[in-house]
Amino acid sequence: MSPQETGAGLFDECPRIEETPTSSIIDNRGANTLLARLETITAGGRELAIASAFFSLDGLALLGPTLAAYSRIRVLFGDDANPTERHKLLRIMRERSDSDFLQRRFAEPTLAGLQHVARVFEEGRVEARCYTHHKFHAKAYLVERPDLYPAQLGIIGSGNFTRPGLTRNVELNVELTLEQTAQLRAWYEERWAEAQTDVVTEDLLNDIKRQIELYDPYIIFLKALMAWGARQTEAHTAETSDILAALDPHQMHGYLRAAKLIETHGGCMICDGVGLGKSYIALAVMERFCREGRNVLLIAPKSILATSWQTYLTDYLDDYLDGWG
């Protein structure tokens, strides 16, 4: 037989990847994960085509360092939600990605893999389409690596392009023969042509940036301060009384915070500057405890009791006075 008939010599000039023999079945048990197999077959690749019913950005992040060298990455995805409503598809993808990345941050706080993916998106090397003709449940991975043999590799099965689908769920995927890979290529191109025009990559890039862009430390400080402040004033906001109605907004804030501190720690000190209404804040705190039927002891210099506090107490706490003056 001639070399052309046997195939000998056809790929003599193409480098071959020496791979450890493994089963063509990929089920995510032990080290036999879909992620590990994709990392193997995508090494040295130039184009990756993905079909996945469910899609999360964390799937791309897992392959981020490998994909950094790719010239083209195509993602064809759908969902069980109404396939004609693109915003639902994106919302569900976003929810999955947020959940995935929240777990991922424990091991990789800066999401370094997603940094690689962001650059690929920013350079326009990623295309993503939503399949909207029917419910889409295909799961397929197709790698083009023209400088290696074999030049095309394909995997089909049950594993979605999400962290669970790539690493955790017990799946049933199979690596294809060369003939089957060629058929998968033809099938993918037909479905890609049928899919919705590429209008989602900008949304995907925005979601990636939302995950990896660092906040200014001052913004983080302000957010923490706001959260802390809310915890100090969250109680008793529905109260009404004459003294509360007389408080200015900053005094009401001081009262709420003082009430919360007393509840939490058993006491507090009001240390505002001169003329900001510390006495009115104290009156509001006293009125609250009187309203609850609790005894209140007021200690002050005699001159202040006569010139200031007697008027305050008569005007606002007269119903609770016992033997005053």
Average pLDDT over every residue of 265-291: 88
The confidence band for 15, taking pLDDT boundaries of 50, 70 and 90, is: low
Q: Does the pLDDT at position 132 exceed 70?
A: yes
For 130, the enclosing helix (H) or strand (E) is: strand 126-130
Q: Does the pLDDT at position 315 exceed 80?
A: yes
pTM above 0.75, yes or no: no
| 106-118: pLDDT as tens digits | 777 777 777 778 8
The reported pLDDT for the residue numbered 6 is 43
The reported pLDDT for the residue numbered 8 is 44
Q: Of 53-62, 186-195, 217-226, which range is least confident?
A: 53-62
Q: Of 44-48, 173-177, 245-249, which range is least confident?
A: 245-249
Q: Of 76-85, 97-106, 217-226, 257-266, which range is least confident?
A: 76-85
The confidence band for 182, taking pLDDT boundaries of 50, 70 and 90, is: very high
Say if residues 63 and 116 touch (Cβ distance below 8 Å): no
The confidence band for 227, taking pLDDT boundaries of 50, 70 and 90, is: confident
Residue 288 to residues 25, 218, 255, 258, 322: CA-CA distances in angstroms? Answer: 71, 37, 10, 11, 16
Say if residues 67 and 121 touch (Cβ distance below 8 Å): no
Distance CA 291, CA 105 (A): 49
Residue 23 to residues 27, 32, 33: CA-CA distances in angstroms? Answer: 10, 9, 11
H helix intervals, the chain: 3-6, 34-42, 57-62, 64-67, 86-104, 112-122, 163, 178-194, 201-212, 217-232, 242-246, 249-265, 278-291, 302-304, 310-316
The reported pLDDT for the residue numbered 93 is 67
The reported pLDDT for the residue numbered 171 is 94
Rounded to 10 deg, the angle between the 249-265 and 217-232 helix axes is 70
Average pLDDT over every residue of 178-189: 96
The reported pLDDT for the residue numbered 192 is 93
Distance CA 39, CA 278 (A): 66
The reported pLDDT for the residue numbered 237 is 54
β pairing state of 47-52 and 72-77:
parallel
Q: What is the mean pLDDT of the chain?
A: 80
